[in-house]
Amino acid sequence: MKDKRTILNLGLIAVLVLGLEGICLGADEEILIIGENGTTTVNGSALNSTIGQINLGSLNANEKEGLLYMAEEEKLAGDVYQTLRDKWNLQVFNNIGKAERTHEAAVILLINRYNLDDPTTKEVGKFNNVTLQKTYNELVLKGETSLKDALDVGAVIEEIDIIDLQKRIIQTDKEDIRLVYENLMKGSGNHLRAFVLNLNRQGYEYTPLYLSKDEYNGIINGNN
């Protein structure tokens, strides 16, 4: 009888574990909404629901700095794309620019969750981080030179975003932060592909400036 009860209990535990995994996977799948044009928006309600199930820990200095930096970096992407959309009236900048606002909101969700001060400003092209301010100015200047340069700037931003997110993921053991960063990294990969595709349609090739050739090819081929 004890053996039968033990087997039954183990069976119930297995069912519960599988059920919980299904819930988590389902939540993860709903966090990113990928459009036909490659734009990847973050489903804020799904993200908030998933994060709400994760215990809140204490942040170290690197984790705090990372959240503040990434919030402004995601804002930078949205601001640059908005500015270049106004200059070139190209749909890819409008589509991905709107998606980047949801990426920014995802990081700000974590900032609010950990009671940090939101570093972002409402004004387009204005940043508290001196490095990001300089980067924004340089990228917009380059992107306004020609349509090719504008699309190159889009691809460069996504490359930088991927590398920075990889760095920040290594710096944290917080499940909620890693969840957001990993999803944003997937989004950046999709956006990189979209910009490269638009360059190809214009008759141009793109050579990665920051990612290794193998990693870049993996992303472009949809393997990462």
What percent of the chain is modeled with pLDDT above 90?
84
Answer yes or no: is 154 within a domain: yes
- For residue 84, the domain's CATH number is 1.20.1260.10
pLDDT tens column, 144-186: 999 999 999 999 999 999 999 999 999 999 999 999 999 999 9
CA distances to 82, 107, 132, 141, 183 from 27, in Å: 30, 18, 32, 40, 12
Answer yes or no: is 13 within a domain: no
Answer yes or no: is 206 within a domain: yes
pLDDT tens column, 112-132: 999 999 999 999 999 999 999
The secondary structure of 29-87 as a DSSP string is: HHHEEE-TTS-EEE-HHHHHHHHTTSPP----HHHHHHHHHHHHHHHHHHHHHHHHHHH
Tell me the CA end-to-end span of the chain in Å, nearest whole number: 50
Answer yes or no: is 89 within a domain: yes
Mean pLDDT of 18-36: 57
CA distances to 50, 113, 116, 176, 181 from 55, in Å: 11, 11, 17, 8, 17
Answer yes or no: is 96 within a domain: yes
Residue 19 has pLDDT above 60, yes or no: no
DSSP reduced 3-state for 115? coil
CA of residue 222 relative to chain centroid, distance: 16
Which position has the higher pLDDT, 65 or 5?
65
DSSP reduced 3-state for 117? coil
Number of domains within the chain: 1
Answer yes or no: is 24 within a domain: no
At 37 the pLDDT is 87
- pTM, to two decimals: 0.86
> Could you list the residue range(s) of the whole structural domain that residue 190 is in?
31-220
Answer yes or no: is 10 within a domain: no
At 29 the pLDDT is 52
DSSP reduced 3-state for 99? helix
At 2 the pLDDT is 39
Answer yes or no: is 5 within a domain: no
